Chain A
Amino acid sequence: MTRDTRETFASTTAALLEEDLSVALVYAEISGQYFREAERRHPDRVVNVGIREQLLVNVGAGLALTGMRPVVHTFASFLVERAFEQVKLGFSHQDVGGVLVGSGASYDNTGGGRTHQAPGDVALIDTLPDWTVHVPGHADEVESALRLAVAGSGRDYVRVTGQQNRGPFPVTPGRFHLVRRGAGATVVAVGPMLDPVLEAVADLDVSVLYASTVRPFDGRTLRAVLGTPDVVLVEPYLAGTSARCVDDALVDVPHRLLALGVGRRELRRYGAPADHAATHGLDAAGIRQAVAGFLAA
């Protein structure tokens, strides 16, 4: 049975709190249902700040100032967007490390509407230098990414989403996985976009790279597998977020780029995540149509 990604985040964090006395968890009510036992066992290292997201992020940064390794969590919309200056100044400008874990992603909470959706989270984090950005596409990758991030000392953003691929890959920051090799274009599938991408390009002679850690962006592997100089990015957040990384990697190679992802237009529709994926052209059919058009052009 496939594990739930958010519960996996919570159980992994609880385990890390047991294993490593320097780990602290700061959260803001959200996901509190998963943390009761950890909070009871470690009241000094598990802090619920209430509905206070500016405080959430800076409390995490303050813990880091004393040498602790904070895991800071709420919905991505409140963690990265509402409290962005705290991310920028509390962590980057103070030059302290920490692990931010945002849930909800682009449209996990379709019924909740725009207030609970954060397709721009990775683009926002990407305005800051030296953040490692994990976009796990499977619950096992959530656990691996979180363990790697917490074991390190840098600044990590872990984007937890309910959308999952059928199987996990090892989490290897700085290195994308070659899932299929073809002679033509290269498709970079990020996180939960892998399964729809594989279905969409099943009969096309293209290479498929899988990225669950998207910053740093593995431009070296992209160059190495490049057949024809045609690149397709398929990202589960704002379209074009990694376009600059492709351009950097291929700065001396004339190339074409199709950047698929979540559109900028506000949908104002509810329904299920699959409905939103289809509307943004991120289901297999939508990806297939876009890629075919791009390759035929």
Chain B
Amino acid sequence: MSVTAFLTDSTLCIGCKACEVACKEWNDVAEDGLEFSGFSYDNTGAVGASSWRHVKFVEQAPVPGFGGNAADQSWTFSSDVCKHCENAGCLEACPTGSIVRTEFGGVFIQPDVCNGCGFCVVSCPFGVVERNQKDGRAFKCTFCYDRQKVGLQPACAKACPTESIKFGEIDDLRRKAQERVEELHRRGMDDAVVYDPSETSVAGTHAMFIIRGDPRTYNLPPAPEVPTIYLKKSWTSSAVAAGLLLGGALLAFLADGDRKR
């Protein structure tokens, strides 16, 4: 049993949305409306309870050799997904133990345990987990736990026609990501980088991305932090508050001469 990961290479993505469709079909994810965003060809917007894969349509100022050499627009695509953090905010926050780490290293919400408290939603630094308002529970990418369990690759990776979504053993993919970025640099794309925030408290992800330029263009936070880092400060404040309340009440009542004794 090996620890696995996704490597999503945006330089290979053609924006076909096969991953979104495959994910929805395999996992029986409900449709989330046919709505036009009205500002780009991206009508999904973001990953959420009913979109576990989401293809970003990144339209930028023209950059020669980047996204199709169009005169007025550079166009690239990038398939987004749950990052399956090494230190996962949702997993730490879950009060029911519904969210677990699987033997493949992914973060999995057990739908039969989740009671929809919503605390994972505010604890995800990537804004991935969402409560399905009709169902009441929280949902996100399962890393196709059921498929991995029987030795299959996740549905999105299997359906990807350009192998933009790669699936494999994590160390292997980390090495491949480096090699790919070096190759892209040799081919003149000096701005190609691997997005895998291992320097912050998130400590790396099981869903890495190869992107070009600034991660913010792709709605990827430059420095995501797992909310457990605030616990120490917050509980200290809580203990001080409790101490002050106890001491204050004792003092107030002891100093009050009205007491009958």
Decide whether A and B are members of one complex.
Answer: no
Which residues of B pack against A, CB within 8 Å? none
